[in-house]
């Protein structure tokens, strides 16, 4: 039976050394708090760092921790040394990815040693996972610390179901592209079958990055990558609703509640709860509270602002600075407004128990949540769920993921102090009836889309993910039938091998002239072509001159311009069709008009066609304009023997009499072959496949619908297939 493995940077349990003994306590933070109960119910294995540096531990202590974590908590530790933690976590995670993904480009650093540590630690996580992993397991990888891990798992376990969830925002492509290692990060995440984000904005941003930076196409939230479909979707994380909604009658809770109420007296209570982080906008919030007291002096001595900041990332220098900044601002405001019996801001730099937080949530008139950026923000949801009396109100920044679900709360721009001050006033003054209506809506939503629901939704989407490659049914990976192919190749006396060039024997380059054959390809083609039993032909869309220059001295037949020109080995070029050219100026003019408005596009004129290449154009612009261009060209060529053909990032108007199938027919007429192999990647190669007899091996390179019988991943696979045939 397959099992579920959760992997996150931190385990839900933190281990600390106290004198000679070890203490195990709950980890703080959104992810750990959130997923723990699901982990318990799902009987999963949770892999992560237990929060203690491994160089402080003796081998037997590690073994003891391992045993205890496994038996009591279903956890497997990944031990990290102090140096690994510093470079991977403080360094790459928190000084590169965290600021970048939260749009703090001024705080981000690019250091190759921290990147190396990030790769190394991701591998370390993989090794621990590898010890317990079985082929059909489901793995749920969490967050920005482990973005390379899905790719590593996919390499070794192609059949595993891998889900990845990002708890922080995924930034717009303009920001993400600043990252030096953006390709590696995207490729790592794309090892998954399912990629989840908190909001649709992050989904859009991710898809835009895969499209713009990697040229991947997507349809209905599904990205096509290699031979896989990857689903990308929004799964807004919920909270353990019951825990916050429940009535508590224990003496500890009653005591906490009494303390809060006594300290509140007849004042209104404003609350905020955050981890210490510059993304949470704590200084801005304090400035806004100052503005509030300036703007609404009637609230002096009438409000109390409890600012709870849980210590976090204390080893990162910028966080120390932030703490000092917050302390100074609190001092400034208290110095400015305090009276003999009143102090406006109560700052607590320490964690509270969850019960105490609930007591505070239930008695705070307004929750002020104004992060500058926040993936979700669970505190806002916890507060709403805690308000059994329906009397709370939330002021939330529009840049927090939770804002889209708490649409009825008061939304503010977190950089606008006056807007926050006004929002706070509005919340404090809101009529009870309006608060009731809004709180009821919050409860309905939070109760339904709870934490459990979120985790189940994600896992069930992962389980039901279809692993179908993007290829029509019945098409086989040639790898599975290569023995048969080898056998028939050997038994044959006369073999015809037809190979497209670009994308089939070499990869694509941004400038077509750069795709010249390398020496190893030339050697391979020479050996294959020299074999007297073989007739080897390159069947390309390229012009005669290029093929002649690049491959003319090899023992091959050449078919240029999609079949218009054929050159048998040691003979001259012959044309297969009598062409007319009178249509070209008018088609060229229309194409030029569109090309002028599509930066990055190139027009290429060939003997029998004119092509508009748009590989380097902005994909959004292409998507918008393509319909119009096709329509214009189709109308133009309607009455001529011309067709409008869409290829791989190219639109071509061509004489329809010219196609690769015709040229193949010409080659086949010259001899009879008992083995035929054809390979191509483009739509123009479909004519080639169509013209083949039924016993031929036809191979589509890459994915997409095809009339070929087999497919391979890319041009490298064709080269290695030819190597195998050559060497056998």
- Contact positions toward ligand GDG, by CB under 6 A? 28-31, 33-34, 167-168, 237, 273, 275, 308, 310, 351-354, 357, 374-379, 382
Q: How far apart are CA 108 and CA 468, in angstroms?
A: 39
Q: Which two tokens stand for residue 600?
A: 């990055």
Please tell me which residue in 274, 500, 502, 685 is annotated as part of the active site: 500
What are the φ/ψ torsions at residue 557 (nearest 5 degrees)? Answer: -95, 150
Q: How far apart are CA 572 and CA 187, in angstroms?
A: 46
Please state the separation of Cα 372 from the chain's center in Å: 22
Residue 500 a catalytic site member: yes
Strands 565-567 and 557-560: antiparallel
**Three-state DSSP class for 142?**
strand
Q: Give the chain's count of helices (H) and strands (E).
A: 26, 30
DSSP per-residue codes, 572-613: -EEESS----TTHHHHHHHHHHHHHTSTT-EEEE-SSEEEEE
Q: How far apart are CA 542 and CA 550, in angstroms?
A: 11
Strands 222-225 and 218-219: antiparallel
Q: Is there a contact between 93 and 145 (Cβ–Cβ < 8 Å)?
A: yes
- Identify any residues that bridge with 524 across adjacent strands, giving them in sequence order: none
Place of tokens 């917050």: 326
Closest CA to 163 of 186, 185, 143, 183: 143
The H or E element containing residue 443 is: helix 432-448
Q: Is there a contact between 178 and 214 (Cβ–Cβ < 8 Å)?
A: no
**Three-state DSSP class for 658?**
coil
Residue 339 DSSP symbol: B
Burial of 574-607, coded b for 16+ CB within 10 Å and e otherwise, reads ebbbeeeeebbeebeebbeebbeebeebbeeebb
What are the φ/ψ torsions at residue 401 (nearest 5 degrees)? Answer: -55, -35
161-to-126, 228, 462 alpha-carbon distances in Å: 15, 12, 7
Strands 650-655 and 138-142: unpaired
**Three-state DSSP class for 93?**
helix
Closest CA to 614 of 649, 648, 654: 649
Distance in Å, CB of 215 to ligand GDG, minimum: 30
Residue 168 DSSP symbol: S
Q: How far apart are CA 147 and CA 97, in angstroms?
A: 10
Distance in Å, CB of 23 to ligand GDG, minimum: 16
Strands 650-655 and 642-647: antiparallel
Distance in Å, CB of 160 to ligand GDG, minimum: 24
The H or E element containing residue 31 is: helix 30-42
- Identify any residues that bridge with 309 across adjacent strands, giving them in sequence order: 274
* Cβ proximity to ligand GDG, 263 vs 353, nearer residue: 353
Q: How far apart are CA 26 and CA 323, in angstroms?
A: 24
* Cβ proximity to ligand GDG, 167 vs 362, nearer residue: 167
Q: Which two tokens stand for residue 219?
A: 């349809």
**Three-state DSSP class for 338?**
coil
Taking the CA atoms of 214, 219, 223 and 224 in sequence, report the sign of the dihedral they define: negative
Q: How far apart are CA 308 and CA 330, in angstroms?
A: 12
Closest CA to 202 of 225, 168, 179: 168
> How close are the terminal C-alpha atoms of the chain, in Å?
41
Q: Is there a contact between 664 and 692 (Cβ–Cβ < 8 Å)?
A: yes
DSSP per-residue codes, 181-224: THHHHHHHHTTSSEEEESSHHHHHHHHHHHHHHH---EETTEEE
Distance in Å, CB of 225 to ligand GDG, minimum: 25
Which residues are catalytic, by number?
500
């Amino acid at each position: 039976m397959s099992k579920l493995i959760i992997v996150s940077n931190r385990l839900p349990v933190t281990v600390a050394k106290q004198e000679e003994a070890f203490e195990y306590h709950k980890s703080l933070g959104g992810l750990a708090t959130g997923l723990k109960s699901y982990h318990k119910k799902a009987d999963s294995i949770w892999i992560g760092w237990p929060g203690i540096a491994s160089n402080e531990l003796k081998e037997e202590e590690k073994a003891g921790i391992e045993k205890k974590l496994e038996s009591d908590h279903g956890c497997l530790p990944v031990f990290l040394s102090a140096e690994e933690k510093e470079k991977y976590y403080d360094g790459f995670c928190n000084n590169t990815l965290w600021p970048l993904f939260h749009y703090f480009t001024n705080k981000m650093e690019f250091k190759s040693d921290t990147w190396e540590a990030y790769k190394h630690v991701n591998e370390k996580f993989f090794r621990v996972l590898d010890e317990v992993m079985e082929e059909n397991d489901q793995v749920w990888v969490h967050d920005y610390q482990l973005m390379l891990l899905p790719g590593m798992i996919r390499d070794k376990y192609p059949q595993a179901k891998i889900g990845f969830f990002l708890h922080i925002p995924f930034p717009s492509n303009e920001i993400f592209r600043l990252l030096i290692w953006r390709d590696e990060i995207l490729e790592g995440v794309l090892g998954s079958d399912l990629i989840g984000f908190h909001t649709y904005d992050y989904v859009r941003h991710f898809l835009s990055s895969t499209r713009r930076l990697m040229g991947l196409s997507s349809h209905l939230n599904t990205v096509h990558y290699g031979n896989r479909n990857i689903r990308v979707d929004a799964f807004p994380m919920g909270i353990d609703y019951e825990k916050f909604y429940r009535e508590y009658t224990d003496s500890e809770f009653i005591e906490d509640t009494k303390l809060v109420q006594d300290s509140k007296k007849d004042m209104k209570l404003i609350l905020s709860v955050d981890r210490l982080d510059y993304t949470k906008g704590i200084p801005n919030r304090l400035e806004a509270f100052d503005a509030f007291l300036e703007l609404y002096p009637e609230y002096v001595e009438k409000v109390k602002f409890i600012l709870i900041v849980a210590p976090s990332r204390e080893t990162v220098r910028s966080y120390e600075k932030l703490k000092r900044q917050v302390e100074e601002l609190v001092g400034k405001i208290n110095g400015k407004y305090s009276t003999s019996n009143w102090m406006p801001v109560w700052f607590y730099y320490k964690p509270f128990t969850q019960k105490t937080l609930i007591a505070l949530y239930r008695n705070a008139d307004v929750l002020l949540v104004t992060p500058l950026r926040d993936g979700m923000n669970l505190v806002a949801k916890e507060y709403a769920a805690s308000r059994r009396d329906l009397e709370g109100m939330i002021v939330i920044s529009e840049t927090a993921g939770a804002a889209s679900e708490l649409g009825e709360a008061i939304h503010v721009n977190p950089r606008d102090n006056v807007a926050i001050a006004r929002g706070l006033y509005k919340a404090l003054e809101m009529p009870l009836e309006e608060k009731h209506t809004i709180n009821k809506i919050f409860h309905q939503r939070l109760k339904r889309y709870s934490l459990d629901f979120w985790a189940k939704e994600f896992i069930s989407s992962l389980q039901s993910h279809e692993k179908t490659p993007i290829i029509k049914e019945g098409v086989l990976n040639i790898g599975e039938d290569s023995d048969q192919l080898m056998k028939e190749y050997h038994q044959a006396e006369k073999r015809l091998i037809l190979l497209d060039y670009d994308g089939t024997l070499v990869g694509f380059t941004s400038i077509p002239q750069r795709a010249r054959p390398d020496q190893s390809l030339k050697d391979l083609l020479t050996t294959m072509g020299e074999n007297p039993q073989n007739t080897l032909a390159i069947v390309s869309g390229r012009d005669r001159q290029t093929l002649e220059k690049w491959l003319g001295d090899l023992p091959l037949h050449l078919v240029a311009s999609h079949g218009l020109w054929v050159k048998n080995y040691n003979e001259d070029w012959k044309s297969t069709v009598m062409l007319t050219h009178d249509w070209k100026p008018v088609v060229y003019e229309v194409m030029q008009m569109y090309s002028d408005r599509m930066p990055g596009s190139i027009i290429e004129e060939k003997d029998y066609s004119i092509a508009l290449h748009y590989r380097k154009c902005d994909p959004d612009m292409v998507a918008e304009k393509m319909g119009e261009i096709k329509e214009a060209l189709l109308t133009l060529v309607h009455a001529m023997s011309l067709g409008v053909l869409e290829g791989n990032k190219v639109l071509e108007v061509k004489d329809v009499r010219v196609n690769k199938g015709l040229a193949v027919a010409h080659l086949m007429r010259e001899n009879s072959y008992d083995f035929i192999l054809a390979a191509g990647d483009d739509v123009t190669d479909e004519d080639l496949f169509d013209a083949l007899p039924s016993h031929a091996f036809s191979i589509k390179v890459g994915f997409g619908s095809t009339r070929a019988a087999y497919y391979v991943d890319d041009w490298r696979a064709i080269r290695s297939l030819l190597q195998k045939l050559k060497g056998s």
